[in-house]
């Protein structure tokens, strides 16, 4: 699918989500029978939907060495599915939440308090419950929330309009409460090793369509997105056995680190912690201001691309800033977080 056609589909899905449509699916009906048959096989092979699998508990305080009397820590909360939760690794420090908290603490030179309410197996319709958990104490609204969602929406054939509507509502609630929001959009399920053609092609198409539509919905609510795509760069395609975990579905330790380091610059930028000169578009990196649907389609095709709101209106609707931020490795804490 070309960038232009993906932009048209994403616009249609986002419009359906905004105005109450519910019948726009992620792929043609003729493909559904084949998809279901092969999906059942793939699900048995990789164990998709095993929500009972143990996830390391990573909540706590990171970067305590930066503590300053009278200055509260930054508050980071993760929401979403198994990728946000960190399913597939064994140590708290290896989860994306811990990696982001450690990285954010190093950049901000402040402690970071992490809370993770993500649930393995969750779809976008679980975000309302998760957001309610986050906002149950209005005096403890996070400084920033990171949401990773969408893979289970594709594998469970949730209508794309419903998926985007639920995500948009979650972002709106968090932004209204005062939190910055960064969304890691639907990863490219066509990279999963046990998935064979033509399911692989269908999964890639559905994933990218949803990612583009998610981007439009999130940006319109004042959030930012980072495309996870093939889980952030050519590393996954080149080293699938290194970057996928033992189940060949969830990321490995190295895969989560790659994803976290791609999301970290956008998290820092949302909090005003990234160098200001990097917020200007760099033409040499193919960055710039684009209609939001076109920016969303381009981001869905290239992992690690950020999209943020720019101008509220233009000749082709709202505009967005497309950025391909440089990833920077930061020191990650080797010790367990401090749990109060």
Catalytic residues: 82, 247, 250
β-bridge partners, 244: 251
Dihedral class, residue 244 (left if φ above 0, else alpha if ψ from -120 to 50, else beta): beta
Going by C-alpha positions, the residue among 245, 254, 285, 195 that lies closest to residue 55 is 245
The values of phi and psi at residue 306, to 5°, are -100, 145
302 touches 229 (CB < 8 A):
yes
Please give the angle made by the CA atoms of 60, 307 and 309, to the nearest 5 degrees. Answer: 100
209 touches 26 (CB < 8 A):
yes
24 touches 159 (CB < 8 A):
yes
What sign for the dihedral angle of Cα 291, 292, 297, 302? positive
Render 243-293 in DSSP notation, one character per residue. Answer: HB-TTSSSB-HHHHHHHHHHHHHHHHHHTT-S-GGGGS--GGGT-EEEEHH
In the structure encoding, which two tokens stand for residue 252, read together?
Answer: 């490995």
Render 126-171 in DSSP notation, one character per residue. Answer: GHHHHHHHHTSSGGG--SEEEEE--HHHHHTT--HHHHHHHHHHHH
Alpha carbon separation from 243 to 18, 56, 228, 260 (Å, rounded): 36, 19, 14, 13
Q: How many helices (H) and strands (E) does the chain have?
A: 12, 9
What is the C-alpha to C-alpha distance for residues 158 and 304, in angstroms, rounded to an integer? Answer: 25
**Collapsing DSSP states into helix, strand and coil, what is residue 184?**
strand
**How close are the terminal C-alpha atoms of the chain, in Å?**
50
């Amino acid at each position: 699918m070309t960038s232009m056609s993906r932009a048209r589909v994403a616009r249609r899905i986002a419009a359906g989500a905004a105005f109450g449509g519910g019948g726009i699916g992620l792929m043609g009906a003729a493909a559904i029978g084949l998809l279901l048959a092969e999906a059942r096989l793939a699900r048995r092979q990789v164990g998709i939907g095993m929500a009972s699998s143990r996830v390391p508990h990573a909540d706590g305080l990171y970067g305590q060495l930066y503590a300053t009397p009278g200055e509260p820590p930054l508050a980071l909360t993760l929401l979403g599915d198994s990728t946000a939760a960190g399913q597939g690794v064994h140590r708290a420090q290896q989860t994306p939440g811990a990696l982001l908290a450690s990285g954010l603490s190093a950049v901000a030179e402040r402690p970071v308090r992490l809370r993770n309410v993500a649930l393995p197996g969750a779809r976008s319709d679980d975000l309302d419950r998760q957001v309610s958990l986050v906002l149950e104490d209005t005096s403890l609204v996070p400084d920033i929330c990171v949401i990773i969602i969408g893979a289970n929406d594709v594998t469970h054939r949730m209508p794309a309009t419903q998926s985007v509507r639920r995500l948009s509502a979650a972002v709106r609630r968090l932004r209204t409460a005062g939190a910055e929001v960064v969304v890691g959009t639907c990863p490219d399920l066509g990279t999963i090793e046990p998935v064979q053609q033509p399911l692989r092609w269908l999964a890639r198409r559905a994933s990218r369509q949803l990612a583009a539509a998610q981007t439009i919905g999130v940006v319109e609510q004042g959030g930012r997105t980072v495309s996870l795509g093939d889980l952030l760069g050519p590393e996954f395609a080149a080293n699938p056995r290194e970057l996928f975990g033992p189940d060949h579905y969830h990321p490995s330790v190295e895969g989560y680190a790659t994803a976290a380091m791609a999301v970290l610059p956008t998290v820092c930028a949302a909090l005003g912690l990234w160098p200001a000169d990097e917020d200007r578009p760099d033409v040499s990196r193919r960055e710039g201001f684009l209609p939001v649907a076109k920016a969303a389609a381009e981001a869905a095709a290239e992992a690690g691309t950020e999209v943020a709101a720019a101008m509220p209106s233009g000749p082709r609707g709202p505009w967005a800033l497309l950025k391909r931020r440089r990833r920077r490795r930061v020191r990650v804490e080797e010790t367990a977080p401090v749990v109060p």
